[in-house]
Structure formats: C-alpha cells, structure tokens
C-alpha cells in the first residue's frame, strides 16, 4: 500500500533526517522523493510504501504529527488512492 507524504516549513537543518527517521523506525520504505527550497521554505513530497509498517496508518500519522510539532512543520500523509482521486482533472 502506498501513501503520499508532504512536508512544508521554514528551511532548517535536519528536516529530511527527522522525517525519514520516523519512517525507517516504523518500516516505511521511501519509493520516491522530491524536495526543494522556495526562498526560505522547504518543500518535500514523498511516495512511500507502508505495507510493511509496524504501525497502523493513524499511528504513523500521529508519529509524523509529533515530528511536525517538534520541528514547526506541516506534515501530511494520505493514502495514494485518496491523493490521486483528489488531484484528478
């Protein structure tokens, strides 16, 4: 099962580390990643495989919410099917 994770916030050291640390600790595989800095804002979109995760989707979302709060970021995770249907023309 795949999911889409988006990360947005003021650029600072350690964003990629802290987000991917949560994923690695919970057996979430990063399949694709795109990140850029727009002026002072860090943006990242990741496609991840959550089928081997040791957590339920809601628990993973909670872990990412904790990281977002600690780092003053916006981190969202959605099932890929939901993301795809929301962005169809």
pLDDT tens per residue, range 22-54:
999 999 999 999 999 999 999 999 999 999 998
Average pLDDT over residues 53-63: 95
Q: What is the crossing angle of helices 57-71 and 15-25, to 10°? A: 160
C-alpha distances (whole Å) from 12 to each of 3, 29, 38, 84, 86 are: 25, 24, 13, 30, 30
Report the C-alpha gap between 64 and 80 in whole angstroms.
Answer: 17
- Tell me the domains of the chain and their CATH numbers: 2-86 (3.30.70.260)
Residue 87 pLDDT > 80: no
Q: Rounded to a whole number, what is the distance in angstroms from the first to the last CA of the chain?
A: 23
- The Cβ-side half-sphere exposure at 15, using a 13 Å CA radius, reads 20
Given a cut of 60, whether residue 89 has pLDDT beyond it is no
- Mean pLDDT computed over every residue of the chain: 93
Mean pLDDT, rounded, for 58-78: 97
* 35 Cβ neighbours under 8 A, 6+ residues apart: 7, 16, 42, 43, 44, 45
């Amino acid at each position: 099962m795949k999911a889409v994770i988006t990360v947005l916030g003021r650029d600072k050291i350690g964003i990629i580390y802290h987000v991917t640390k949560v994923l690695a600790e919970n057996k979430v595989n990063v399949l694709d990643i795109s990140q850029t800095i727009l002026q002072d804002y860090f943006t990242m979109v990741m496609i991840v495989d959550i089928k081997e995760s040791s957590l339920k989707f809601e628990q993973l979302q909670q872990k990412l919410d904790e990281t977002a709060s600690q780092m003053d970021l916006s981190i969202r995770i959605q099932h890929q099917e939901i993301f795809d249907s929301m962005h169809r023309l």
